[in-house]
Amino acid sequence: MKKIEAIIQPFKLEEVKEALKAIGIDGMTIAEVRGHGRQKGHKEVYRGQEYVVDLLPKVKIEMVVPSGRADEVVKALVSSARTGKIGDGKIFLYDVAEAIRIRNDDRGEAAL
Amino acid sequence: MTKFFGMLTAMAGAALAQTAAPDKLAALETAVQSAQSAGDNAWMLTSSALVLMMTGPGLALFYGGLVRKKNVLGTMMQSFILMAVITVLWAVVGYSLAFGEGTAYFGDLRYLFLNGVGGAPNTDYAATIPHQTFMVYQLMFAIITPALISGAFAERMKFSAMLLFMVLWALIVYFPMAHMVWGKGGLLNAYLGGKIPSFDFAGGTVVHVTSGVSALVCALYLGKRKGYLTEPMKPHSMVLSFIGACLLWVGWFGFNAGSALGSSSLATSAFVATHFAAAAATLGWLLAEWLRSGKPSVLGGISGCVAGLVAITPASGFVKPMPALFIGFCAGVVCYLMVTAVKSKFGYDDSLDAFGVHGAGGTLGALMTGVFATKEVNGALKDQALGLVDGNAGQILNQALGALVAWVLAIVGTLVILKICDAVLGVRVDADQETQGLDLSMHGEEGYSLES
């Protein structure tokens, strides 16, 4: 099993969800997060007082999928979340040791 | 209206049929007077409500949006609580100290507990409305004035100390100043026997100079907020501030046009001047900001409109529309420079710019009233020349003296009061409380709860 963590532009969330649904991925957890990579922040001015805002709002999607499907999911993520501009985000993959469904104690891929 | 004329005709007809001509005339006169009273009273009660609306929600939202979110309730409370505290104080002793005929500096105790303040007009102040209407209208000014100061000590003053401060400030600074400018026999009252006749139609000195200058004293005395200029302290909700400023603009019609104390053409003139000044000041501030920092901001626009409203306040019942535009535009530019260039040069933390907008704008407005006041707008002093445009250059000096009295009283009074409050209660919250925010540390609640 692989855990896929994708940090994307907030306004791309709907498109990404649609793309994942189209390849049969139903489960995911999302969080509104803030961060930055190479994308520079912006300057705000309130009555002459300048503030540099460098942590920008992003959406983080986390999901765990069977190892065999990871490439396909990454492909769907990349094509749906890309605008081609700086700030599109990143995807990270991790190996997952175990998955457990709390309701009935299913283990492994059966729990996904 | 039709009903009124019908009534009038019926009364006149009845008088004609039964009695001689003089009686008919008297009946007509009474009918006209009571109609004027009804009209004036309706406008003055409306104006009273509008001015209260300026404090809550107007100022509470305007200031509340400008602070960090951990202080939103504490900041709103600093305005709201005055709607309660000053009201009680006013009923007990405040109205009498401000408007009782005492000395040139403060009133006497003739209206203690509102004794004798009833439905009959007080002809010294407003001959066509109930004395009680005049009293409650003036109360709304006494509420908003100290509330304006809270912008200077935002996010760091102890609630208990603020309560004591505000009560003492009303007693020592506001009531005497209101008496000097508007009270019978007051030192600066141009209409009722003042030695230095100074024009202040709706409170440029009484409200804005006193509160703005006191605000500066508070900012200097309390010191900067923890992390000032090193931590981000940007407004947590420009949306709240925007709504608050728009409510202030609307409420100001009650403040200035209401100061005509009747539903007269002078009220209309003040209404027009007020609106025009706000518009021009908005543009003035935005233009200055656009040129200096590259972008016209919403905060700039709404701050500009408030600056213009402040500056036109003393002038509103004395100037024509074109001077109102000019006064407003100047106030927009000057106040912008005050809250940006001047504030950063001296480094004081007037957190929400109560001094930069109210102190500077109020003083500018007081002086410009001396330039543009004209008897063509305000004929209360008959044919006497009012300002420079009427040929009375000396009025500018009178205006400056009026403003100077307000400055001195505000500086000395506020400093003494702060010393007292500091000795009795301590004026500033401790460092942990400041970090935690006033909402939790002073009031035990949060403005925005994510868990509920």
Q: Considering CB atoms only, which of B234, B343, B353 is closest to A51? A: B234
Per CB-CB distance under 8 Å, the chain A contacts of B292 are 48
How high is the pLDDT of residue B368? 98
Q: What is the pLDDT of residues B139-198, one digit of tens each?
A: 999 999 999 999 999 999 999 999 999 999 999 999 999 999 999 999 999 988 889 999
Q: Predicted confidence band at B354 (pLDDT cuts at 50, 70, 90)?
A: very high
Mutation target to probe the A interface, by most A beta carbons within 10 A, among B242, B293, B355 is B293
Nearest to B63 by CA among B352, B441, B305, B428: B352
Q: How far is B226 from chain A (nearest CA, A)?
A: 16
CA distances from B260 to B31, B109, B187, B197, B270 (A): 22, 26, 21, 18, 8
d(CA B332, CA B338): 10
Q: What CATH number is given to the structural domain containing A41?
A: 3.30.70.120
Q: How far is A37 from chain B (nearest CA, A)?
A: 21
- Asked if B339 and A46 come within 8 Å (Cβ–Cβ), the reply is no
How high is the pLDDT of residue B450? 75
Q: How far is B73 from chain A (nearest CA, A)?
A: 21
For residue A36, give both structure tokens: 């930055």
**For the residues B368-385, what does the mean pLDDT come to?**
93
Asked whether residue A30 carries a pLDDT value surpassing 60, the answer given is: yes
Q: Considering CB atoms only, which of B232, B295, B303 is closest to A47? A: B303
Q: How far is A58 from chain B (nearest CA, A)?
A: 19
Q: Tell me if the bond preceding B296 is cis, omega within 30° of 0.
A: no
Taking the domains of chain B in order of start, what are their residue ranges? Answer: 34-443
Per CB-CB distance under 8 Å, the chain A contacts of B353 are 47
Percentage of chain B beyond pLDDT 90 is 91
Q: What is the pLDDT of residues B379-421, one digit of tens each?
A: 888 889 999 999 999 999 999 999 999 999 999 999 999 999 9
Reduced 3-state DSSP string for B262-300: CCCHHHHHHHHHHHHHHHHHHHHHHHHHHHHHCCCCHHH
d(CA A63, CA B404): 69
Domain of A38 in residue numbering reads as 2-111
How high is the pLDDT of residue B226? 94
- Asked if B297 and A46 come within 8 Å (Cβ–Cβ), the reply is yes
- Asked if B232 and A45 come within 8 Å (Cβ–Cβ), the reply is no
- Asked if B353 and A47 come within 8 Å (Cβ–Cβ), the reply is yes
How high is the pLDDT of residue B1? 47
Per CB-CB distance under 8 Å, the chain B contacts of A51 are 232, 234
Asked whether residue B445 carries a pLDDT value surpassing 90, the answer given is: yes
The domain defined by B34-443 carries CATH number 1.10.3430.10: yes
- Asked if B295 and A45 come within 8 Å (Cβ–Cβ), the reply is yes
B359 contact partners, CB below 8 Å, separation of at least 6: B208, B209, B211, B212, B213, B215, B216
Q: What is the pLDDT of residues B33-65, one digit of tens each?
A: 999 999 999 999 999 999 999 999 999 999 999
Give chain A's contact residues with B (Cβ, < 8 Å): 44-49, 51
Q: What is the pLDDT of residues A44-69, one digit of tens each?
A: 999 988 888 888 899 999 999 999 99
What is the count of structural domains for chain A? 1
- Asked if B340 and A48 come within 8 Å (Cβ–Cβ), the reply is yes
B309 contact partners, CB below 8 Å, separation of at least 6: B248, B249, B252, B256, B274, B277, B278, B281
Inter-chain CB pairs, A–B, below 8 Å? 26
User: CA of B228: which chain A residue's CA is closest?
Assistant: A49
Q: Output the pTM of the full model.
A: 0.88
Q: Predicted confidence band at B67 (pLDDT cuts at 50, 70, 90)?
A: very high
Q: Which residues pair with A6 in a beta bridge?
A: A61, A91
Q: How far is B318 from chain A (nearest CA, A)?
A: 31
- Asked if B293 and A45 come within 8 Å (Cβ–Cβ), the reply is yes
Amino acid identity of B449? Answer: S
To the nearest whole number, what is the mean pLDDT of chain B?
94
Give chain B's contact residues with A (Cβ, < 8 Å): 232-235, 289, 292-293, 295, 297, 299-300, 303, 339-341, 343-344, 353
Per CB-CB distance under 8 Å, the chain A contacts of B340 are 47-48
